Structure 1
Amino acid sequence: MWWKFKKHKLAVVALYVLLLMYFLAVFAEFVSPYNIHVRHTRYLYSPPQKIHFFYNDKFHLQPVVYKLKFRIDPITLKEIYYEVPEEVYPVKLFCRGERYKWWGLFETDIHLFGVKPGGTIFLLGTDRMGRDMLSRIISGSRISLSIGLIGVSLSFIFGLILGGISGYFGGTTDIIIQRIIEVLRSFPTIPLWMGLSAALPMTWSPLKVYFAITVILSLLGWTGVARAVRGRFLTLREEDFAMAAYLAGASKWRIIYKHLLPSFLSHIIVTITLRIPGMILGETALSYLGLGLRPPITSWGVLLKECQNVQDIAHHPWLIITVVFIILTILSFNFIGDGLRDAADPYA
């Protein structure tokens, strides 16, 4: 299957992009130059800083950033930022900065890159509170990407169990499960998500809200998987290999999980992969509307919620850079899904 997948060039590139995304999410504190809650009060709405290789009238391999200062426009009274080429700050790898705990386990102050004290490195600018946008986007990827994986995993588990039971045992059990699925699928997805999210108590801790949103997003996702599994089981349970296992004395549960499921698991994995983008977009939409995750949790949806003012976007366009990461992630999952689908197709 891997050899067929590698023939899909876009899928391979998308796989590397996603691996990079998840690497950034796992090592967010290390990769981020600043703590996401630190406010640089002297640099509110600072534009992205440029990396320079050409300075002092010649080219250097050592990248640098210039000192960032601002002045007040006498007419608009707005802060206008400008660089000071005379003050140069080299960008160093594995430099010391703010202390942090990686996943709450190991405490250190080593960051992937940064500048010495006195300088700043805002590669994607800052927000209205002076917080580094790059650090917040990287940290937000941990929440948004994990919600997609956990939500789809829950859908996968529920769909396999209930779909397998419905398809293999049939009869009254099949009728009951299918009627439940039909009732759930009759609800419009987005309004149901919004209603359940709005019902979450405001007093809940961020961790409870995170898991509640994950369960809400996966509430309807399992129904499609269950129906796909049921359809395959109805076909495969009468096949010779299933009957042979039954005559050999294998239990019904062993037949389901040792013989039937492995025969079409690759197709289910492809289906699940294509559902992850929907989960990520669902969390983003709910958080953007104020019905999902809330500060102090940082996710891509929470970051976009801070860009609802058109005037802010017009004057500070870098605030919407989060959209680029979302689009890149969604396209990567879709390309990988296409590659897996082609690889799993025996006639491709």
Structure 2
Amino acid sequence: MAEQLLEASQYELMLVKFKKHKLAMISFWLLVVMYLIAILADFVAPYSPLTRFGELVYAPPNTIHIRDEQGNFHAPFIYRRVSKLDEKTYIYSFMDDTSQRIPIKFFVKGEPYKLWGLIPGNLHLFGIESETPLFLLGSDKLGRDMFSRIIYASRVSLFIGFGGVLISFLLGILLGGISGYFGGIMDLLIQRLIEFIMSIPQIPLWMALSAAIPQEWSGIQKFLAITLILSLVGWTGLARVVRGKIISLREEDYVTAARISSASDMTIIFHHLLPGFTSYLIVHITNSIPGMILGETTLSFLGLGITPPNVSWGSLLQQAQDVTVIGFYPWLLYPCAAIILAVMLFNFLGDGLRDAADPYSH
């Protein structure tokens, strides 16, 4: 093993060190699971995000039982739920009909769907064969299953980070590299542009740009527009750091040797200078993705991002703006838990990648 490490490349050594970081590895595999769930949302979610159960408005989460009223053990099941409208307060109250057990099954046929909009199917990972719905995380003001809506919303909230980070990462490296390597008037113009963008308050800038998105655009068009908005204002910090790093490295002997050997300027920047601070670039990527997720959440929460009938974690939290509603229906805050989990996992993953890429870490 020691001999293999002596002959290993930089990236192979990084991989070995990363695998020793248990928290980062756990975070990596949990993120893989989250993204697989998002990709297979039609199959994983019991219902579509728009399916309504009119008599079960603001229904609390179902209690999953393994013992009945007589103390006998069964496979996981729920009781049939009965709703009753209070004619004075116009608030539904719910109770379980313990005479009717409804088993929870895996690979159940349910609502038809088209996986990725192409493959028709009606098989769901789990569900129940009954008109009574299964609400693992309760329902919203229109009687829609919160669990299914959170699963579908993860498609937007998780993948918007990758698109935004890719664009801002390329802009930051390209403009920061040009600014630091060439200097002069090019450096002056790029730095003044960065200072102008950074001087604008972030949330008002997001709001102004997102307000320019036509309301008649489809969900996909709005998704791409928000990705572009977040990336166009998210590259400045990386560009400044890249500029500083390149200024400190551009006079090194190996850069001078590359210049003498007729290497092009772009080759020197991307093949000789940028690899010198790989650890920072890796950490920046993993920390920027949760930043993009939070940015989209902020815009959608304010009503300027993803709008109905499309769903994201931020748009789901719009129902949680009223403190009174939260007092009666706290399960409307569950999208917050998904956001916090995703952000924490990316941060833990970033810590592990930073330690693996840092040659001085132990």
TM-score by length of 2: 0.91
Which residue of 187, 193, 198 maps to 1:185?
A: 198
Task: Give the aligned partner of residue 69 of structure 1.
Answer: 82
- Unaligned stretches of 5+ residues in structure 1: none
Task: Give the aligned partner of residue 340 of structure 1.
Answer: 353
The reply to whether residue 158 of structure 1 matches residue 171 of structure 2 is yes
Distance 2:197 2:236 in 1: 8
1:235 positional shift: 2.3
Which residue of 92, 101, 107 maps to 2:105?
A: 92
Task: Give the aligned partner of residue 120 of structure 1.
Answer: 133
Q: Which moved more, 1:336-345 or 1:104-113?
A: 336-345
Which residue identity does 1:212 align to in structure 2? A
Q: Deviations over 1:20-76 (max 9, x none)?
A: 22121111111000011111112111110111111252223x211111111234654
- Whether the 8 Å CA contact 2:80–2:98 is kept in 1: the answer is yes
Task: Give the aligned partner of residue 73 of structure 2.
Answer: 59
Once the two structures are superposed, the pairs formed by residues 21-40 of structure 1 within 5 Å of their partners are 21-40=34-53
Distance 1:290 1:190 in 2: 13
The reply to whether residue 306 of structure 1 matches residue 311 of structure 2 is no
1:268 positional shift: 0.6
Q: Which moved more, 1:241-250 or 1:302-311?
A: 241-250
1:145 positional shift: 0.9
May I ask how many residue pairs the two structures share in their alignment?
347
Task: Give the aligned partner of residue 93 of structure 2.
Answer: 80
Q: Deviations over 1:324-348 (max 9, x none)?
A: 1111111112222222222222222
1:221 positional shift: 1.2
Provide the identity percentage: 52
**C-alpha RMSD of the superposition:** 1.7
Distance 2:120 2:253 in 1: 58
Q: Which moved more, 1:6-15 or 1:81-90?
A: 6-15
1:203 positional shift: 2.6
Which residue identity does 1:292 align to in structure 2? G
Distance 2:318 2:335 in 1: 11
SS for the counterpart of 1:204 is coil
Distance 1:74 1:292 in 2: 37
Distance 2:16 2:128 in 1: 44
Which residue identity does 2:301 align to in structure 1? Y
Q: 1:74 to 1:177 in 2, by over 3 A?
A: closer
Q: Deviations over 1:144-163 (max 9, x none)?
A: 11112211111101111111
Q: Deviations over 1:184-206 (max 9, x none)?
A: 11111112112222232223332
TM-score by length of 1: 0.94
Distance 1:291 1:267 in 2: 32
- Unaligned stretches of 5+ residues in structure 2: 1-13
SS for the counterpart of 1:124 is coil
Once the two structures are superposed, the pairs formed by residues 160-179 of structure 1 within 5 Å of their partners are 160-179=173-192
Q: Which moved more, 1:2-11 or 1:110-119?
A: 2-11
Distance 1:235 1:241 in 2: 13
Distance 2:269 2:89 in 1: 71
